[in-house]
Amino acid sequence: MKLAEKIPLLYHRFLDDLIGITVPEEEIARCSSCGLCQHPKSPYQETKCCNYQPFQANFLVGAILSDSSDQMKTGKRLTEELIQQRKGLTAFGLIPDRKYQQNQHQILTLPKSFHNQEEIISQRCSFLHEGHCSIWAYREHLCITYFCSSVGASTGQQFWSELNEMMKHIEYQLAQHFAQKLGITWPENFTEAFYEDHFELSDIEHWGPWHGKEDAFFKECFTLLQELDQKNFQEICFGKSESSLEELKQLALNFEQAAFPKFLRLDENIRFENANPGNIKLCLNSREATVPALILPFLRKFDGTQTTSDLFQLAYTVLYDLNAHVEELLEKKMLLNCYAPDQ
C-alpha cells in the first residue's frame, strides 16, 4: 500500500515524497474484525485499541471544528464538549488531562500483564463513538501509525515507529509555530519532551488574548495551516536540516523484504520436547526455539493450506499474537515459505 492511504489528506500537499512510499499491506491487523476482540470475554470489546487519549494538536482541533461535513458532526460535537469542559485544553491542542494521565500511569504500573475491562474502559478515547473513530480524517501521529501486529514483525514496527516520530515532530513544530504566531507565549521548557513528561505541563493554559475564545483560536491555527506552502512547511518542520525521509525509504525497503510470506509451513522434521512448565521446545538439527504450549496447535496449522494472516486471526481467539514466534521460527528456518524455490 502507498502511505497516501494512511497519511491524512490535509498533509498530502506538503509531503508528496512521503505519501509515495510503498509498504506491505498490514493484513494481520484487520481492524474491522479486530484481533483484540476475537475472544468473547476480551476486555477490549468496547474499545479495541482506542484505550488511548490522543494529543490532538491545535490545527487538527481547528480542522475538526471547521469541517461542516456530516461525517464530522459527531467528532465536532465531542471536540466542542471537551473545549467547554476545558478537559485537557491547552494552546498546544486537546491533550489527555491530568486525571486521565494519572489513571494511565497507575494502570501501566500495575504488576500484571493483562488489564481488566474496567481499567481498559477508563482509558477509552473521548473521540470513540459507537465503536468508530469520530475524527478519523484528522487523527494524530499514533492513531495514523499504530498497528497492533505487523506483517513485517519487528522490522515493520521499526518503520511505523519512525513514521510515528516524524508525524509527531511535524505536529509539534506546527502547533508551536501557529500558537506563537497568534500571540501565545510558548513556555521555554515546553519542548517535545512534553509527550513523555506531560504531568507537569498538562495544566498549563497560556491563552493570553484567546482566553474564552479557544475554539476561534483552534480554527485560526487551521487557517494558518491552509495558508502554508510547501517551502514554509519544510522550514517550520525541519529548518535547514534534512527530514528523515531517506531513512524512512530505507526502512520501507527493509519492511518489504521482511514481510511474512503469504503461505508458510512448519518444517516436518521438527521434534517437540517438553520444556519448562507451560512451554514446548522445537528442535531442528542444532536449532531450537521455545514457545508456549498454548500456541502449539496454531503453529501445527502452518501447513501451507491457510494464509499466514488467517492463522494469526485464529490465534487471536485465545487472545494470542503469534508475531514474535513466527518471526523467530522464520529466522531459524523452522517455518518455511511454501513458494520459495530453494529451501
Residues near ligand SF4, by CB under 6 A: 29-31, 34-36, 48-50, 52, 54, 125, 127-128, 133, 135, 139, 143, 146-148
CB distance 187 to 213 below 8 Å: no
CB distance 324 to 292 below 8 Å: no
- State the minimum distance, in angstroms, from the CB of residue 55 to ligand SF4: 10
Q: Which helix (H) or strand (E) holds 335?
A: strand 335-337
Identity of the residue numbered 224: L
CB atoms within 10 A of CB 222: 22
Identity of the residue numbered 22: T
Buried b / exposed e across 67-99, counting CB within 10 Å, b at 16+?
beeeebebbbebbeebbeeebbbbbbbbbbbbe
- State the minimum distance, in angstroms, from the CB of residue 327 to ligand SF4: 17
23 or 334: CB nearest ligand SF4: 23
175 or 334: CB nearest ligand SF4: 175
152 or 289: CB nearest ligand SF4: 152
Detail the DSSP E strand segments found in 226-310: 264-266, 271-274, 279-284, 287-292
92 or 210: CB nearest ligand SF4: 92
- State the minimum distance, in angstroms, from the CB of residue 17 to ligand SF4: 25
- State the minimum distance, in angstroms, from the CB of residue 59 to ligand SF4: 15
46 or 267: CB nearest ligand SF4: 46
Closest residue by Cα to residue 338 from 280, 287, 274, 263: 263
35 or 152: CB nearest ligand SF4: 35
Residue listed under C-alpha cell 501521529: 141
Q: Which three cell numbers stand for residue 133?
A: 473513530
42 or 173: CB nearest ligand SF4: 42
- State the minimum distance, in angstroms, from the CB of residue 318 to ligand SF4: 15
- State the minimum distance, in angstroms, from the CB of residue 121 to ligand SF4: 13
- State the minimum distance, in angstroms, from the CB of residue 53 to ligand SF4: 7
User: Three-class SS string for 57-111?
Assistant: EHHHHHHHHHCCCHHHHHHHHHHHHHHHCCCCECCCEECCCHHHHHHHHHHHCCC
